[in-house]
Structure 1
Amino acid sequence: MSSKTFEIDFETSIGPWLGRTVKMVDYHLQEAFDRYGLDMTKEQMVILKKLHEQDGINQNELASLTYRDKSSLARLISKMESKKYIRRIQSKEDKRNNEIFITAVGSEILAATRPVIQEVIDVMEQGINKEEKALIINTLKRVQNNFNLKSI
Structure 2
Amino acid sequence: MNRDSFSQYRSEVSEVMDYIRHIFKALRVSSSQFEKELGLSAAQIFVLKKLKEEPGLSINDLALRTTTHQSSVSVVVKKLEEQGLVSRAISKEDSRRVVVSLTQDGERKLSEIPRTVQEQMIDSLQKMNPEKTATLAMLMKEFVNQAGIVENAAAPMMENK
TM interval, short-chain normalised: 0.5 to 0.7
What runs of 5+ residues in structure 2 fail to find an aligned partner?
1-8, 118-123, 142-161
What TM-score do the two structures reach when normalised by structure 1?
Answer: 0.64
SS in 2 for 1:113: coil
Whole-angstrom CA distance in 1 between matches of 2:82 and 2:39 = 12
- 1:75 Cα deviation (Å)? 1.0
Identify which of structures 1 and 2 has the higher relative contact order when contacts are C-alpha pairs closer than 8 Å and 6+ apart: 2
The change in CA–CA distance for 1:148 and 1:99 in structure 2 (over 3 A counts) is: farther
1:61 corresponds in structure 2 to: 61
Secondary structure (helix, strand or coil) at the match of 1:50 reads helix
Residue 87 of structure 1 aligns with which residue? 87
| Deviation string, structure 1 residues 50-83 (Cα, Å, up to 9, x no partner) | 1111111122111011011111111111111001
Partner secondary structure for residue 89 of structure 1: strand
CA distance in 2, matches of 1:104, 1:18: 39
The one-letter code of the counterpart of 2:26 is: V
- 1:101 and 1:49 map into 2 onto residues whose CA distance is 11
* Aligned-partner Cα distance in 1 for 2:61–2:23: 24
Map 1:98-137 → 2, pairs under 5 A: 98-114=98-114, 117=115, 137=124
CA contact (8 A) 2:31 2:41 kept: yes
Give the aligned residue type for 2:31.
Q
TM-superposed CA distance for 1:99, in Å, is 0.9
Equivalent residues in 2 for 1:1-152, closer than 5 Å? 10-13=13-16, 16-36=17-37, 38-114=38-114, 117=115, 137=124, 141-142=128-129, 143-146=132-135
Which amino acid in 2 is paired with 1:43? Answer: A
Identify unmatched segments of 5+ residues in structure 1.
1-6, 121-136
1:22 Cα deviation after fit:
2.7
Compared with structure 1, are the counterparts of its residues 91 and 17 closer, same or farther at alpha carbon in structure 2 (3 Å cutoff)? farther
Deviation digits for residues 10-66 of structure 1 (CA, Å, limit 9, x no counterpart) = 3244xx455322321222212322443x11111111111111111111221110110
- Contact kept, 8 Å, 2:125 with 2:133, in 1: the verdict is no
The alignment partner of 1:56 has SS state of coil
Instruction: State how far apart, in whole Å, the 1-side matches of 2:104 and 2:137 are.
Output: 35
Tell whether the 8 Å contact from 2:35 to 2:41 is kept in structure 1 after alignment. no
